[in-house]
Structure 1
Amino acid sequence: MRRLAVSSIATILLWTLPMEFLSAAEFNPYVAVFSDGAVLEGELLRFWNDPQSKPELEGVSLFDSSNPARWIRDRRLREKAYKYSAECFVEFIGGDRLPGKVVSASFETQGTTPSYLRVDTDGAFARPGTVARKYFRVFPSKVQRIVWRRIDRQVLTPGVAYLRDGQAVEFRRLRWSEASVFLLLSDGVKEFAFGELAEIHPLTGDPWESYYDDLAVLSPNLRESLFQFESVDGLIVTSSSGRFQALGYSSLEEQERLGRVRETLKGQLNNFEQHNKTSLEKIKTLERKLDEELKKQVAAETPDKRQEDRVREASVRHLSQMEKRHRRRLESHDRLT
Structure 2
Amino acid sequence: PSWELWRTLPPPSGESQFWGSHLWCKPQKVAVLPCEILFPAWCAPSVMGVSICCLRILHIYAAKGLRAHTLAAAERMKALRRLDAKEHRGKTPLLVAVTARQAAIVHDLIQAGADVNAVDNKGQTALHLAATYGYTQVLIFLALSSPPSHTSFPGHTPLHCAVLAHNSLLREQGRQALPEEQHRELQQQSRELESCIQLLVQTGASIYSRDVKSNKTVLHYTVQDGNVSLLRYFLELNAFKSKDFVNNKAHGNTALHMAAALPGDKNQKEIIQLLLEHGADPSIRNLDNDQPIHMAPPGKAGDQVRHLLKKGKVTPAFNSCRRNARS
Same fold (TM over 0.5): no
Q: If the length of structure 1 is used for normalisation, what is the TM-score? A: 0.24
- Larger relative contact order, structure 1 or 2 (CA cutoff 8 Å, min sep 6): 1
Higher strand share: 1
